[in-house]
Structures are given as structure tokens and as C-alpha cells.
Amino acid sequence: MIVGSRYAKSLIDLAVENKQLEETRKDMQTVKRVCDQNHEFIVLLNSPIVKTDKKSEILNSIFGGKISKLSLSFLNLLATKRRESYIPEIATAFDEQFKAKKNITTAVITTATGLDAKLKTRVLEIVKQNAGAGEVELVEKVDASILGGFVLAISDKQLDQSVKRKLNDLRKNLLSNKYIPSSN
């Protein structure tokens, strides 16, 4: 993670210098999405058998025209320096450092069925009140296994108001109850 963080910091500095920070963030989100959705791509990046020039060619064919010249040049530089296996880590670290630089708090809300627009707005208001200054980015996840309610995670804090957790708590409470009625 240290290597990815260092390269991400260098890319942020370069993007700021070129006044392309927002654009570079979108590029790194695209790179991260491609990495997350394509296991074969990650295997290729990590392969010692595939030559550097072939990896650069593949990076150019995948990302050429989809990301800025600055970001594509950075990816090619990573390949030239044989650091292409760190691309997914760098993309993740870039987003984290961008959020810290811009004072953006990420809140993840997990519900069983999803949020409507009114409820999403209300959740954003509550998170903004508790997060303090800065912008809030709300990530919505749907997980039917929580049965109902919600799980809200902000930074290192989590509020679990799911039906699943409440049922598990009730079950533990009933199983740990040592009260045995007398048979009089």
C-alpha cells in the first residue's frame, strides 16, 4: 500500500500542477472500475511473462481516448518502470488522497431494498450534520440479507440498525438467558 500511496501522491501533484485534478480523479475512477471488473486484466498486469511494451500497448488500447493524456502517460510510465502491478492500488490511493485533499467524507448506506430520492436526501442531511465541514459522498448499497433497516458507515464508525442484527441480538439474548423457572 505504501508504493501505491507514493505514486498516487505524485500523480495528484502532477494533476494539480497541470490543473487537471478533477479530470484525473475521473480517470483513476475509470481505471479502478476496469481493474475491479476484469480479473484477467489484473492477471495480465501481474504477469512477468508479458513484456513491458505489450503491456503498454494493451493499456493504450483499453484506455486510449477514454482517459486524459496525462493519466495515460502516467500508466505508460508505470509500465516502463515495471510498476504496472500497482495500478489498481494507485487508483484506490489516488481517490482516498483526493477526498482528503478536498475534505470529502464518504458515507456508505446499505439497505435491503434501496433508497428513494426523499430518503436519500434525508440521509445526506443527517450525514452532513454529523460529518462536520466539507462535502459528503453517499454510496448506496443494496443487500437483501439485512432483511430491513439500514447499516450506515462513515469513516471508521458504523451504525447498524438492520433487522438482521436485531434478530441476532435477540437470539443471543435468549440463548444466554440462564433463568430456569422452578417446577413448583
Residue 169 carries which DSSP code? H
Please indicate, yes or no, if residue 144 is contained in any of the structural domains: yes
Q: Does pLDDT of 94 surpass 90?
A: yes
Where b means 16+ CB within 10 Å and e means fewer, 145-177 reads: ebeeebbbbbeeeeebebebeeeeeeeeeeeee
Q: Which of 45, 70, 100 is the last residue of a domain?
A: 100
Residue 104: φ, ψ to 5°? -105, 125
As given in the structure block, the three cell numbers for residue 72 are 495515460
Q: In this structure, are 73 and 27 located in the same domain?
A: yes
Identify whether residues 25 and 38 lie together within a single domain.
yes
Phi, psi values for residue 168, rounded to 5°: -65, -40
pLDDT (0 to 100) of residue 51: 93
| 182 falls within a domain | no
- CATH number reported for the structural domain that contains residue 84 in this entry: 1.10.520.20
Query: Same domain, yes or no, for 74 and 26?
Result: yes
Flag whether pLDDT at 155 surpasses 90. no
181 in a domain, yes or no? no
Give the SS3 label for residue 128: helix
Who's near 153: CB < 8 A, 6+ residues apart? 107, 108, 109, 110, 159
In this prediction, residue 126 has a pLDDT band, given cuts at 50, 70 and 90, of: confident
Tell whether 107 and 134 lie within a shared domain: yes
Residue 134's pLDDT band, with cuts at 50, 70 and 90, is confident
Q: Is residue 178 pLDDT above 80, yes or no?
A: no
For residues 57 and 114, state if they share a domain. no
> 72 lies in which domain range?
2-100
The verdict on residue 84 lying in a domain is: yes
Number of structural domains (the chain) is 2
109 and 148 co-located in one domain: yes
State how far the Cα of 46 lies from the Cα of 161, in Å rounded to an integer: 41
With bands split at pLDDT 50, 70 and 90, how would you rate the model's confidence at 133?
Answer: low
pLDDT at 141 (0 to 100): 93
Classify each residue of 115-139 as buried b or exposed e, where b means 16 or more C-beta atoms within 10 Å of its C-beta. beeeeeeebbeebbeebeeeebebe
d(CA 29, CA 88): 10
Do residues 93 and 116 share a domain? Answer: no
User: What per-residue confidence (pLDDT) applies to 11?
Assistant: 96
Shared domain check, 75 and 51 = yes
123 pLDDT exceeds 70? yes
**Side-chain-side CA neighbours of residue 79 (13 Å):** 20
Same domain, 107 and 96: no
As a whole number, the mean pLDDT across the chain is 90
Q: Is 21 buried (19+), middle (13-18) or exposed (0-12) by CB count in 10 A?
A: middle
Residue 184 belongs to some domain of the structure = no
Q: Examine the fold and report which residue of 41, 74, 100 is the final residue of a domain before the chain moves on.
A: 100
Question: What three-state secondary structure class fits 108?
Answer: strand
Q: Is the pLDDT of residue 23 over 90?
A: yes
Structure confidence by residue, pLDDT tens digits, 28-85? 999 999 999 999 999 999 999 999 999 999 999 999 999 999 999 999 999 999 999 9
Question: Is 16 domain-assigned?
Answer: yes
Claim to verify: residue 11 and residue 90 sit in the same structural domain: yes
Residue 116 lies in a domain: yes
Query: Residue 137 in 3-state DSSP?
Result: strand
A 10 A CB-CB count for 1 gives: 9
Last residue of a domain, one of 49, 78, 100: 100
pLDDT for residue 111? 92
pLDDT of residue 177: 76
Is residue 141, in this structure, part of any structural domain at all? Answer: yes
